[in-house]
Chain A
Amino acid sequence: MIAFLRSGFSTRRSRNGLWGVPLVIVVLLVAVLTLATEQFATRENLFNLVAQAMPLLIAAIGQLFVIIVGGLDLSVGSVISFSTAILSLDAPAVVLIPAVFVLAGLVGLINGLVITRLNVHPIIATLAMQYILLGITRILRPVSGGDIPQIIISAVQGSFLGLPMPVFWGVIAIGLAAKLLYGTRFGLHLFGIGGGVAAGMEDAARNFGIRVDRNIVLAYVACSLFAALAGVFLAGRIVSGDPNVGLLFELDAITAAAIGGTQLSGGVGSLHGTVLGAVILALLANGMNMANISPFVQTAIKGGLLLAIVGLQSRKKMGL
C-alpha cells in the first residue's frame, strides 16, 4: 500500500503518471471545505457532489482510453448532447437505449477508422466529427425539450440500498474501465501502443505483433461508448434532450485526465488518477459555488490548476 502510494509521486516506478499530486489536492480540498463551510460535509451535499461529478467522470474515463494511445477525442461533447437528443425522441426505451450505444459505437468506429486508415490527425478527425454530430443533434432537437424514458430518470435520480443511484453509475463505469485497462490484453496493448508513439517508435508495438490499428479504433469506440453513458446519465438528470448540454465536455474530460497525471503524448496515465482529476474539478465547482465565487473566476482557476499540475510533470524523466 505504502509502495503503491509512493509510486504516485514517482515517474520511474510505474506508467501511472503523477496521480499522487491530485490525491493530495483532493485530500486538501476536502479538508479545507469541511473546515471552512458547514454545508460541505453534509450527506446531502456529498451525494449531490457525486451526481454533479458523474457525467464528467464517465466522459474522462472514456477520454483516457484514447489519450493512452496518444490520441485525443474532441467529439465527446457532441456525443453526449447527441445521446440526450436520441433519448428524448418519441420511441420506447427498449429501442432508444440500445440505439444510443449503437450509434455512439458507430461514431467511435468512424473516428478510429478515419484516424488509422485515412491518417487524419486525431484532433482534426474528431473535431470534424464534433461539428457533424452537433449539426445532426440540432436537427433532431433544435432546443432543449422532449421526454426521457422514465426508467432512465429512475436509474439516475432514485436510490438503492440507501445510496443514491449515481454512486452505482460510478462503480459500474470505473469497474468496467478497470477491467478493460488492467484486466485484459487489450488494455496492456493500448499502453504499449501509446508508449511507442510517445517514444517516437511508432512501429515498435507493431513489431511485437500487436494489431495496432485495430486497437486504436477500439480505443475510440470505447471513448464514444463512455461518452454515450455520460449522455444517458445527463439525460436522466435534466429530464430532456438538450443540444448544448455536452458543450465543452471534451475539454473538461481532457483536463480531468491531465490533472490526474495522464500524459497527452501517450503511454502514461491511470484510471485512479483520472477519477481523482474529475473529482477535483467537481470539488472545485462545488466549493466555489458555496463560497459564492463567480463561475467566470472558477473557469480561470480551473485553467490555472491545469497548468500548475501539468507543469509539475517532466516528460523527459520518464524516458518517453
Chain B
Amino acid sequence: MFDGQQEYLVEMRGISKAFGPNRVLRDVSLCLRPGSVHALMGENGAGKSTLMKILAGVHKRDKGLIRMNGVDLNLPSPREALSAGISTVFQELSLLPNLTIAENMFLGREPQTRTGAPDRRRMRAETAAALAELDLKLDPDQLVSTLTIAERQFVEIAHGIKADASVLILDEPTAALNAADVEVLNRSIRNLRAKGRVIVYISHRMDEIFGICDEVTVLKDGQYVGTRAIADVTPDQLIAMMVGRELADLFPARAGNLAQPVLELRGFKAAPKARAFDLTLHQGEILGLAGLEGQGQQRIMRALIGRHPVFGGSLHLHGQALKFPNRANGIRSMARLGLGFVPEDRKEEGLMLGLSVAANLVIGLHAEKPAVAPARALRDVVQRMSDALRIKTASPATPVGALSGGNQQKVLLGRYLAQGLKVLVIEEPTRGVDIGAKSEIYGLLRDFTNAGGAVLVTSRETVELIGLCDRLAIVHGDTVVAEMPAGQATEHGILAAALTTEGVAA
C-alpha cells in the first residue's frame, strides 16, 4: 500500500482497559514490525500482561484500535485472535493436564482423517518433530500432568510456535527455564524472526532482552512510556524508564532506633534448593520483602503461619524458640502467640463478603474462643475499631462486600488490630485501594508499630515498600539476597540488586 510494504504488521493504538474501577491500561500503543523481536517491559502491574491478553482475545479492550496488515481487528475471544494468526504463550501455565502433549499441541485445530476423527498419527508425528526442534525428548502420547514445570513450559512454547502464527506472544517464557534451555528457545525465536514473524517478548531478565530483542516498549502504571531500538538504550536507561516516578508524599515518618528483635529467622529455607538466609524483625519496625514478583516473598510469609512447607531453619518469636507451625492450625497457634496473618486476596481469603462489617471485625476475637462459646456482638469493639480506622459504612450491619476496596481493606486490618496482636504479617496491604485510603492504611500501620507492634509486609508495588518500610529485604529465588534501609532504597537499586544476583545465579 505505502511503498508496497506495511511498516508495521500489528498496530495497537490508544488501548484502554479497566477492571471495575481499576484502570489497568490508559491510551497505550504498541507497534510491531515484521521480522522483529519486540520486548515489552515494565514493573509488575504495569499492564504488560493485560495488553497482551487483549491482543490474544482473552480480554476485551474498552477503547482503542488494533490493526493487522492494515486491517482493523475485533478480537472478542481467543478463537478470533488465533485465526487472525496471533498465538500466545501465557505466563501462567495453561496446558490441559488430562490431555497428551500431542492433543494439547493441536487442541482446537486438530487435523482430521477422512472419517472426521482427529488424525492422531499426524498429530503425533508433527508433535514429535516440533519437540525435536526444541531438543525435547518427550513422548507425544504422554499426559501433560506427568510433565515437570520446565517441560510444560517448553511444550507451551512448542505449541505457540506450532500454531504457525504471524505473531507469537511470549509472556515470561523463561521463568521456569535454565540457561541452556533459554539458548534453545532463542534459536527458535531467531528462526521465526528470519521468517518474518513478529515475536513479542515479555521478560524481566535484562540479559535476555539485550540478547534477543530488536526493539523495546516500556509501560508504566498502565501508560505508554516509549519505544526504543535496543541498540540505542542501556539497561540503566531502561530501568529508569520503568520506574522514574516521583515518590508521592503519602507516607508517614519512619521509626527511630530499633533494638528489640521480635521475630527471628535463622538458616531459613523456603524451598528445597533455595539458599538458607537469616531475617530479623524488630519491635516498632516495618520490614518489607521486596523484589520481582513471585520470587518467594509469599512463600516466606506463608511459611510463618504454616501455609507453606519449611525446608530448614529455626524460628524465634519474642526470644522464644518455636517449632514452625503446621498447616492445620498454624494461623490459630500463631495468633495465640501474638502473630497475625493478613492475606493478600481479601475477597477470596480474607473477608466474608456476605457478612456484615461488624461480624468481619470481631470474627478474629471469636476465633480465639472455644467453638461453642457464645458469640457476643462485641458492639464496643466494633465501635472502637470503626472509629479508629475511620471505616466509612452506612452501618455496622452492612455487608462488607458493599464497601469500597479501601474500606474493605480497613475492615480486614481492623480484625487483626482488634485481636491485640503484636506482630502482623501482611501481604499486599493496599491492593486495589485508592490513593487516599492507601495513605490512611500506611498511617494505621505506622501507628501500630509506634505502639510497640512490628510488621512484615510484601507488596507488588515497590514504591509502596520503599515509602512505608524502615528496612527492605530483597528476595530472589526464594532467598534474601540483600538488605537495605528503605530510606536509601530506590526502585532502581532494588531492581538492580535482584537482577544482578539473578545474572549470577544463571
Contact = CB atoms under 8 A, between A and B. Distances in A.
Interface of A: 12-15, 182-185, 188-189, 191-192, 194-196, 198-199, 201, 203-211, 267-268, 318-320
Contacts of B117: 182-184
A207 B98 contact: no
Interface string B57-86: 010000000000000000001110011000
Given A188-B110, A209-B108, A320 B98 contact: yes
Contacts of B146: 12, 319
B128 interface: no
B58 A192 contact: no
A206 B82 CA distance: 11
B143 interface: yes
A207 B99 CA distance: 15
Interface in B92-133: 94-99, 103-104, 107-110, 112, 115-118
Going nearest first, the 4 A-B pairs with the smallest beta carbon separation are A319-B145, A195-B98, A209-B108, A183-B117
Given A195-B97, A318-B97, A184 B108 contact: no
Contact of A198 (B90, B98, B107, B108): B98
B108 A208 contact: yes
B448 to A, nearest CB: 35
Q: Which of B78, B108, B116 has the most CB of A within 10 A?
A: B108
B327 to A, nearest CB: 15
Contacts of A12: 143, 145-146
Contacts of B90: 207
B96 A185 contact: no
Contacts of B112: 185
Given A188-B103, A192-B96, A320-B145, A203 B58 contact: yes
Contact of B107 (A208, A211, A319): A208
Contacts of B56: 207
A188 B103 CA distance: 8
Contacts of B88: 207
B103 A192 contact: yes
A268 B143 CA distance: 12
B96 A204 contact: yes
Interface residues of B, number: 30
Contact of B58 (A194, A196, A207): A207
A230 B415 CA distance: 57
A192 B108 CA distance: 10
A14 B90 CA distance: 25
A209 B96 CA distance: 13
B143 A14 contact: yes
Nearest to A268: B98
Contacts of A182: 117
Contact of A15 (B78, B104, B143): B143
Contacts of B110: 185, 188
6 contacts: A12-B145, A14-B143, A183-B115, A189-B108, A209-B107, A318-B145
Contacts of B118: 184-185, 188
Given A12-B143, A13-B143, A209-B108, A204 B94 contact: yes
Contacts of A191: 98-99
A320 B146 CA distance: 11
Q: Which of A14, A15, A189, A268 has the most CB of B within 10 A?
A: A15
Contacts of A14: 143
A175 to B, nearest CB: 13
Nearest to B58: A207
Contact of A184 (B78, B107, B116): B116
A185 B118 CA distance: 6
B78 A207 contact: yes
B94 A188 contact: no
Contact of A209 (B78, B97, B116): B78
A204 B152 CA distance: 14
Contacts of B145: 12, 318-320
A14 B82 CA distance: 28
Contacts of A209: 78-79, 82-83, 107-109
A12 B104 CA distance: 16
Contacts of B144: 319
A267 B145 CA distance: 12
Given A192-B103, A209-B107, A319-B97, 10 more contacts: A12-B146, A15-B98, A188-B107, A189-B108, A192-B96, A192-B98, A201-B94, A207-B56, A209-B82, A319-B145
A207 B79 CA distance: 7
Contacts of B79: 206, 209-211
Contacts of A211: 79
A206 B97 contact: no
Contacts of B116: 183-185
Nearest to B53: A207
B169 to A, nearest CB: 12
A178 to B, nearest CB: 11
A268 B97 CA distance: 10
A82 B418 CA distance: 60
Contacts of A198: 97-98
A318 to B, nearest CB: 6
Nearest to B90: A207
Contact of B78 (A199, A201, A208, A319): A208
A306 to B, nearest CB: 22
A210 B107 contact: yes
A69 to B, nearest CB: 12
Nearest to A267: B98
